[in-house]
Amino acid sequence: MLAVWAVVLSGAAALYIFLCTLLHLTQDKNEPRMVETTIPFLSPILGMAARKGDFYPYMRKKYKLPIYTLRMPGTKLYIINSTALLSVVQRQHRTLSFKPIEAKGARDMLGCSDTADKIVSLDPTKDGSYLMTFNKFIHPALAPGIHLDAMNKISVRRISEIIGELQAKAPKKMKLFEWTRHSMLLVSTDSFFGPRNPFRDPALEEAWYRFEPSIIIFLLGLFPSILASDALKAREQMAEAIERYLLSGAPHDPDTSELIRARLAQNNSFSMPIKDQARFEVGSTFGILGNTIPSSFWILFHIYSDPSVFFEIRDEVSKLVTTTVSGDGVTTHSIDAAAVRTSCPILLSTLREVFRYHGVGISPRMVMEDHLLDGKYLLKKGNTVMIPGRVQHMDDSIWGPDVSTFNHRRFVTTDAEYQRASPIAFRGFGGGTTLCPGRHFASTEILVFAALMVMRFDVRPVGGKLWVQPTVDKSPMAAAVPVPDGDIEVEVELRGPKEQEWRVSFSCSGAGVEL
């Protein structure tokens, strides 16, 4: 038996020496310094699994490097810590490109056909290619202007309707995240798909909830047919429903967004098969829901759980409300929701702080050719540059000593007590060529949702319990804003008489949200 153990230990030692040697022989001296090599190729994976969203801030504090290399099985990750290097990376948008990662996502996450894969993957960084024409087609539909205003008007109308339904049922007990998730899913998808929104079908909504948590399994190719078989069925269910939607002519309904028509125009210009177009809209659904739903929950949590935040924001929003009383005593409150974007700096600051405090998004770039970053750091072709937003968001040299505290006034730039945020260090919507094109729409619907909730309801945990911030340890790894592990059961009580009326309008201004 001792002889067997001696052989096993000798073999393990030999393997360890071999892997350590392999690490150093395959690392150029000019590449960013390697770290976490105690267990070759596995230490980074174990660290990520243990620390999750806090892994990269922990690494910054531990090594204090502007950029470093993590060696993973089959690849290298170059992790950016330095704020100064962010703009350098973002300027090299062809050499350090997100486009090949998008192409891989279309294949692995969405299961597109070989035909679609060839279209998407062909010359991904060259002008005129499918991926490089994305901005040309999509950004006009989401930039401040008439098309964005049209989407905002629909979202505001739907928010008003949903909150009106809650008013009719109040006082009411409900699970805060469950209700917020359902409400904002309908608001966002109605604004995108229009009156024939396929996600109005509860079965399709439920399919989304089954698919989203397993997205990372698809992206990493971890045998989804085995490890995520139910999510795979849900993806196919959504793709089939959206294909029927596309074939029905619904994209041309008057209240369908210009965004989906722009998506159709791009796909048709490249002769994209209709089945693949439907799969790509499953991906678009992640784009419009992935951050919006959890951010809507967290802003409600932070407003209602802190009386100082709650009363400041209620006072701020109340200044936009006009109140009249009819001859028969009916009170009517009127608000132009468009003004919330420009006249509620504390509410806007609270939303930005939600993105800073909770955001764990990572902006990846593929190295398309050997490149000397900033004239100092050699990045080898085929590897990946990673920009973890949480590294910037948890840097006390940028945000001050209260960096680990939720400070709802942090972004109120007119208040001398608080530091003006570094624009490039705020990664709530990414940056550079990967800056989220839907940021104006998403921010507007979250702000309006929060403003109308604050004006119309008092919300508290059932039974007089204290507010306790939920953990996020089980949140899907693909989530840029994590979802709570558990829900909060709350009591919702209407402010004022049940007979009061609210008139919510949205004036088209062509304006966006200052982020």
pLDDT tens digit string along 332-364? 888 998 899 889 999 999 999 999 999 988 889
The pLDDT assigned to 1 comes to: 61
Q: What is the arithmetic mean of pLDDT over 4-25? A: 80
Asked if residues 256 and 193 have their Cβ atoms less than 8 Å apart, the reply is yes
Residue indicated by tokens 């028969």: 328
Q: Which residue type sits at 181?
A: R
- Interval 308-314 mean pLDDT: 96
The pLDDT mean for the chain works out to 90
Q: Rounded to whole angstroms, how far apart are CA atoms 369 and 380?
A: 7
Per-residue pLDDT tens over the stretch 219-262:
877 788 888 899 999 999 999 999 999 999 999 999 999 999 99
Q: Is residue 111 part of a domain?
A: yes
Domain end call among 64, 90, 121: 121
Pairing of strands 457-461, 489-494: antiparallel
CATH of the domain at 486: 1.10.630.10
**257 and 340 in a common domain:** yes
In angstroms, rounded to a whole number, what is the distance separating the alpha carbons of residues 109 and 216?
A: 8
Res 375: pLDDT:
93
Same domain flag for 96 and 153: no
Identify the pLDDT of residue 515. 57
Q: Are residues 24 and 100 in the same domain?
A: yes
Tell me the pLDDT band of 67, cut-offs 50, 70 and 90.
very high
* Contacts made by residues 366-371, CB under 8 angstroms, sequence distance 24+: 366/96, 366/97, 366/98, 366/99, 366/100, 366/101, 367/78, 367/95, 367/96, 368/94, 368/95, 368/96, 368/97, 368/100, 368/125, 369/95, 371/92, 371/95, 371/96
Residue 510 confidence class, pLDDT cut points 50, 70, 90? low
Q: What is the pLDDT of residues 405-423, one digit of tens each?
A: 999 999 997 655 444 556 7
Task: Single out the residue in 58, 87, 121 at which a domain terminates.
Answer: 121
191 is a domain residue: yes
Q: Where are the beta strands (DSSP E) in 382-488?
A: 384-388, 457-461
Structure tokens at 377: 């750091």
Inside any domain, residue 513: no
**376 is a domain residue:** no
State residue 480's pLDDT score.
86
Q: How far apart are CA 282 and CA 154, in angstroms?
A: 21
What gap in Å lies between CA 118 and CA 502, rounded to an integer? 52
Phi, psi for 331 (deg, rounded to 5): -90, 130
pLDDT > 70 in the chain, percent: 96
Out of 129-133, 211-215, 407-411, 494-498, which region has the weakest mean confidence (pLDDT)? 494-498
Q: Write out pLDDT tens, residues 370-391.
A: 999 999 999 999 999 999 999 9
- Other Cβ atoms within 10 Å of 90 Cβ, number: 19
Q: Summarize the confidence of residues 319-326 as an average pLDDT.
A: 88
Label residues 408-443 b or e (16+ Cβ within 10 Å = b).
bbbbbeeeeebeebeeebbbbbbbbbbebbbbbbbb
pLDDT score for 438: 87
Q: Give the integer Cα–Cα distance in Å for 276 and 273.
A: 5
- 78 with 193, same domain: the answer is no
The answer to whether position 383 is within a domain reads no
Spatial distance between the Cα atoms of 12 and 248, rounded to a whole number of angstroms: 62
Domains in the chain: how many in total? 2
User: What whole-number percentage of the chain has pLDDT above 90?
Assistant: 63
Is 54 in the same domain as 138?
Answer: no
Strands 501-505 and 384-388: unpaired
Largest CA distance in the chain: 99
**Band of pLDDT at residue 15, cut at 50, 70 and 90:** confident
Q: Are 204 and 222 a contacting pair, CB within 8 Å?
A: no
Q: Is 20 annotated as a binding residue?
A: no
Q: Are the beta carbons of 480 and 361 closer than 8 angstroms?
A: yes
Residues 479 and 342: their CA atoms lie apart, in Å, by 28
- The structure tokens listed for 463 are 């039974």
Do 345 and 489 lie in one domain? The reply is yes
Are residues 99 and 209 in contact, defined by beta-carbon separation less than 8 angstroms?
no
Residue 306 confidence (pLDDT) above 90: yes
Distance (Å, whole) CA 181 – CA 187: 10
Of 93, 121, 149, the residue at which a domain comes to its end is 121
Same domain, 349 and 454: yes
List the domain range (segments joined by +) for residue 239: 131-361+394-505
Please tell me the predicted confidence (pLDDT) of residue 431: 80
More confident of the two residues 431 and 69? 69
80 located within any domain: yes
* CA dihedral of 467, 182, 450, 515, whole degrees rounded to 10: 110
Cis peptide before 388 (omega within 30 of 0): no
On whether both 290 and 150 belong to a single domain, the answer is yes
pTM of the model: 0.93
Residue 14: pLDDT over 90: no
Continuous H helices in 290-426:
292-305, 307-318, 340-343, 345-358, 389-393, 396-399
pLDDT tens digit sequence for 148-199 = 999 999 999 999 999 999 999 989 999 999 999 999 999 999 999 999 999 9
> Per-residue pLDDT tens for 450-488?
999 999 999 999 998 999 999 998 888 778 899 999 999
The rounded Cα 351 to chain-centroid distance in angstroms is: 13
Q: Tokens 């793709």 sit at which residue? A: 239
Residues near 216 by beta carbon (within 8 Å), at least 6 away in sequence: 476, 477, 478
Do 105 and 190 share a domain, yes or no? no
Q: Is 393 left (phi over 0), alpha (psi -120 to 50) or beta?
A: alpha
Is 377 within a domain? no
Q: Answer yes or no: do 117 and 138 share one domain.
A: no
Question: Same domain, yes or no, for 299 and 442?
Answer: yes
Residues 70 and 145 in one domain: no
Please classify residue 21 by burial: count the beta carbons closer than 10 Å to its beta carbon, then call 0-12 exposed, 13-18 middle and 19+ buried: exposed
d(CA 346, CA 411): 8
